[in-house]
Structures are given as structure tokens and as C-alpha cells.
A and B are shown apart, each in its own frame.
Chain A
Amino acid sequence: MTTTQAQAPAPQSPMTITPGKEASTLDVSVGPQHPGSGHVRLLIRVDGDYIVSIDPDVGYVHRGCEKIAESRTAVSNIPHLERPCIIDAIHLNWGYVLPIQELQGVVVPPRGQYISTIAAEMNRIMSHLYWLAINAGVFSGHTTIFMYAFGDRDLFIELAEMLTGARLTYSFLPPGGPRRDLPAEFQKRLTHLLDYFERRLVEYDRIFFSNPLVVARAKGIGVLKKEEAIRLGVTGPVLRGSGVKYDVRKVEPYGAYADLEFDIPTFEEGDSYARFMVRFEEMKQSIRIIRQALEKLPKGPIARKAPLAIPEGEAIGRVESARGEIAYFVVGDNSDKPARVKIMNGSFRNLIAMPYLIRNVHIADMPIIYGGIDYWPLEADR
């Protein structure tokens, strides 16, 4: 079957300013090439210095992941399904593999579960450091934290490369368990890095999270009340920043999380600063989780052989990614390709918070709210 593409509409400048419906308002198009994360256009209506309404125009980086997934085998889907959020690839990979393993009846051995958990928590730290550098640091004009966080993130990336062979897109967890065991010296180097990183977090607190300028900039901005957060179905740090203690690692433990002790940081305020602090505290918890996992690491095989075909049936698997709950709904039909893969990820669910939060605020507050949500356009667009 052929598809048709009509003539493109007249090109619109990305920074158009046109008079809005009311005489005193202007419609301003922010993006899709804005200095932060890019790839999303926010159509804002401004009245003087105030944003009256916002219409997020998403889809600039839509690549049809769900459609592609139907034409590739269960295993060869992994590299492209983890692409939408390359800074959090392990979680996108793991969430996709869980329902397939459930349909196949494959149970990953304990050592494999622990290694997956270590890799996932390293990825959470890397993702939160990326957020801290760009979405918190750059958006609030704090260039020092940008340099610090990006530099420290690279130390984790080096260890991830040592473990998986890739810096960002690991494809580390095919059905059955992780691809590799921990390399020699890995535990020693990771322990050393965690000790260093723990000291760095004290420094981060001093120069950024307790910095009066940052506090003044982010506190009380973009308040999402607890009831609203529940009603809108937001997830991850946005939800926990509004005082809802919900984390898939506790609610439906996967990997090795049931054996490990950790807290779920929540803040009641619901403002951008609360969302900042959730991620800051989560990095501390990730350190705690990795240390316990390294200590308790069981012996034995890391993976089992999984069949290539996906048996007939439907299954849902979910993990707690850095941007919240990511759930995959997979339909199998006894072939080696999934009949349907539906991705429900944190960025797309948190998108609904934008029109609610970026309203009746100063234009200058928009980056702080956007950065607090930690919206990742590629993940939302898929």
C-alpha cells in the first residue's frame, strides 16, 4: 500500500510572533530549537510578561518506534526501543524485556537480577546528573553546576562502558538476563567512584541546592498540588515532588529491589524546588542501593537462554525510570516479532502537567518549570 504526502504547508519561522485573539496578547512560538533540550515547540500566549496559556507542540522527534517494533524480532527491537531516551537506556530496555520474559516464562537468575539493578541505578544517577547539568543548571543560569555534573556523569559513563561496552546505548538486557558479568576490577572501581561521588553531592548541595539564588529562583514556582498530581496521572519525581509516595521499585519490586533497603524521597511542596530535591535525594538512595547490591551480589549464572519467539498472549511490564514509571504492553502471537508494543513512559505522561503549570506565570519562570518536569522530548515522541 502506498502512502501519500501532501505538499508541506508554508514554512513557519520557529520564532514567529503574531497578535493573539485578544488585543493585549501575543502568540509566541518557543522552539523547536530552544537552547535547552530542544525538539519541542511550546506555543505560548503572553500578556505582557505573563504567560496566559501554553500549547505544547510535540512530535518533532517522532520516529514510529511502536510501528518499527512490529517489524523486528523481540531481540533486535532492543537497540531502537532504548534510543528514545539514551541517557536512561537501561530502564527503557528493562521495561521492554520484562513482559517478554513473562510471556516466555523465563526467570532471570539472582546474579543477573543484581547486575541489572546495579546497571539501572548507575543509569539513574547518570540521568539525574544530565538533568542537573542541563535542566536545572543551564535553565537557571548556573554554569558551574553544569560543568560539575557533566564531568561527574562521565565518570559513571566510563564505568558503564567498562560493563557493557557502550557509553550510552547499552542494549545490555536481552530476554534472559544481562549480556555480561561484572568485569574484573569493576567492583573496586565502582566502590571508589561512589565514595568520591558521595563527597561531590555534599559539594552540589553547597553550591546549588542550598544556594540562595537557586532557592529563590525555584521555590514556590510551578506548584502542583497533591490532588492535581494524582488527577493528572503524572509520574516519577514530578509525582513524588507533590507528596505522593509512589515508586514502582517499592510498589511492584523487580530485579533485586525486594532484597535491598532504600527510601522513596518525597516532598510535600509540589513546586519546582521540590522536584529538584527529589532527584537530589534519589541520587543518594541510588548510591545506597548500588553499595548493598555489590555487597550482597550472589554467585551463579547471570542469564538463562530465552526462546526467540514471543508466545501468544498479552503482558505488561514496568520499571521506575529516571522520569517515572515506564510500562510496556506487549502482545505476542507465537512469532518472533511482537504483534504490538505500546510504550507508556514518564515524559509523555508528564506532558499534561505543562499546560497546567506554565500558566499565569512570568515568561522567565518557564525554563524553571520545564526543567523541573525533566521532560525528555525524544522519549515522549517515541
Chain B
Amino acid sequence: MTSHNLSREEDLVNKLKARFPEAIKESKVERERRILVAFDKDKLLDIAAFMRDELGFDHLKGVAGVDEPTHKRIKVLYFVGSFSRADIEDIILVMETELDRGNPVIASSVSVCPSAHFHERETFEMFGVKFEGHPDLRKLLTLDNWEGPPPMLKDIKFPEMAQR
């Protein structure tokens, strides 16, 4: 089976923590190849640029919102990986940040990572997260005449979707 040596993952976490001692709030190596880093949302662009230029995480796999009404927060998760660095290409690093559920605002990462364009548009329409500085923050997937609230929020229920 797979080895349980996690030194590569811990090394990456330590580099991040050393560079951003205050902005990295929490970090854990979940298992081999999986790292989770919780960060302060104000430092998004600095951390993203550092990860791209210094650590070699060169692409974004996706952006996910997670609505947690009991904690009055919306989490935004960025899934990043590397194509160009063979030693870390198997790692998925999840960068996680918390936004206020009443007013979810975060800087857009399109300037650092152009592929965030459609991912951020989707998270904007599904969770109502405003990505400041996004060049074209429009609805993407829902109907043109959909004027309801962001549909992926937990308190939006669609009875017709319930299990039959």
C-alpha cells in the first residue's frame, strides 16, 4: 500500500506558514496528497501569487462554495494543483476561507489565475459570493429569467427535488 511518509506535504505547509505566519489560520495534512489550508480572506491574492510563483502550484481545479448557516458563514474553497513540478504534481491543496454569510465578499483571483473566471462566476450565482475585481461577474448556469436567491444556499428548498 501507500507509504505514510508525509514529509513533502508538511514541508509545503511549513513554507506557507513561514511566509504568512498570521494569514494562515489553520493547516492540516489530511492524508498523503491532500493538504487543507485555512487562510485570512484579505490575503488571498498574496497567498495565491506566492503559491504560484514560489511553491509551483500553477493551476486551479475548481472553486467551491460551502454554505454553513448554523455558523453564519459561507466557506469558499480553492482546489489547486501543479502540472509543471513533478515532485508535487499528485498533491491537491485546498485553500479555504470563511466569509460572512450576510455579506460574502472576497477579492477575485482572476488576475493571478485566469482559469478562475468561470469558477468564480459559478460560485457567484450559486452562493451569492461577490468576487471583487472580477472582469465579468455575470450569471452563468441558471435560467436568464431566474431572479430567485442564490440556489445553492441551504435554506433554499426545492420540494420537487426531494427524494421520491
Q: A residues touching B (Cβ–Cβ < 8 Å)?
A: 1, 3-9, 58-59, 62, 64, 66-68, 71-73, 76, 229-234, 239, 244, 246, 251-252, 314-316, 318, 325, 327, 329, 331, 340, 342, 344, 348-349, 351-352, 381-382
B59 close to A59 (CB less than 8 A):
no
Query: Does the CB pair B79–A351 fall under 8 Å?
Result: no
Q: Are A231 and B114 in contact (CB under 8 A)?
A: yes
User: CB < 8 Å: which of B115, B122, B148 contacts A232?
Assistant: B115
A325 engages B145 (CB within 8 Å)? no
**A314 to B96 CA separation, bound complex (whole angstroms):** 12
Contact of A6 among B58, B145, B155, B161 (CB under 8 A): B145
- Kindly state whether residue B92 has any CB partner on chain A within 8 Å: yes
The answer to whether A8 and B145 touch across the interface, beta carbons within 8 angstroms, is yes
The answer to whether B161 and A231 have CB atoms under 8 Å apart is no
Q: Report chain A residues within 8 Å CB of B79.
A: 316, 327, 329, 344
* Chain A minimum-CB-distance residue to B59: A233
Cβ-defined contact, B59 with A325, below 8 A: no
A348 to B119, CA, bound (A): 8
20 A/B residue pairs, CB under 8 Å, sorted by A: A3-B148, A3-B151, A3-B158, A4-B148, A58-B140, A58-B141, A59-B142, A59-B143, A62-B141, A67-B151, A230-B59, A231-B58, A314-B30, A314-B36, A327-B79, A331-B66, A340-B66, A342-B77, A344-B61, A382-B141
A70 to B118, CA, bound (A): 23
Q: How large is the interface on B (under 10, 10 to 19, 20 to 34, 35 or more residues)?
A: 35 or more
Stretch at the interface among B19-27, B38-46, B82-90: B82-90
Q: Assess the B144–A3 pair: CB atoms within 8 A.
A: no
Residues of A within 8 A of B155 (CB): 1
Known: A62-B142, A244-B84. 7 other contacts (CB 8 A): A3-B156, A4-B148, A8-B144, A231-B58, A233-B59, A316-B94, A318-B92
A66, chain B: closest CB distance, angstroms = 7
Q: How far is the CA of A244 from the CA of B139 in the complex (A)?
A: 32
Closest chain B CB from A130 CB (angstroms): 24
Determine which of B34, B119, B139, B140 lies in contact with A316 in the assembled complex, contact meaning CB atoms within 8 Å: B34
**Interchain CB contact under 8 A, B89 and A246:** yes
Q: Does B152 contact A (CB under 8 A)?
A: yes
Q: Let me know if B62 and A244 touch, CB within 8 A.
A: no
Q: With the chains together, A59 CA to B58 CA distance in Å?
A: 28
Chain B 6-61 residues near chain A, CB threshold 8 A: 30, 33-34, 36, 58-61
Flag whether B133 is at the interface (Cβ < 8 A).
no
With known contacts A59-B140, A71-B161, A231–B115 Cβ distance under 8 A: yes
| Residues of B contacting A314 in the complex (Cβ-Cβ under 8 angstroms) | 30, 36
Q: What is the bound-complex CA distance between A58 and B148, given in angstroms?
A: 19
Task: Rank and list the top 4 A-B pairs by shortest CB-CB distance, nearest first.
Answer: A233-B59, A344-B62, A233-B115, A3-B148
A72 and B163 contacting across the interface, CB-CB below 8 Å: yes
Q: Are B64 and A6 in contact (CB under 8 A)?
A: no
Are the C-beta atoms of A348 and B118 separated by less than 8 Å? yes
CB neighbours of B117 from chain A (8 A)? 352
Cα-based distance from A1 to B151 in the complex (angstroms): 11
Please give me the residue from chain B that is nearest to A232 by CB atom.
B115
Bound-state CA distance A69–B67 (Å) is 14
Are B94 and A4 touching (Cβ within 8 A)?
A: no
Complex Cα distance, B69 from A275, in Å, reads 44
| Contact (Cβ within 8 A) A67 B145 | no
Q: How far is the CA of A55 from the CA of B98 in the complex (A)?
A: 31
Q: Is B83's CB under 8 angstroms from A5's CB?
A: no
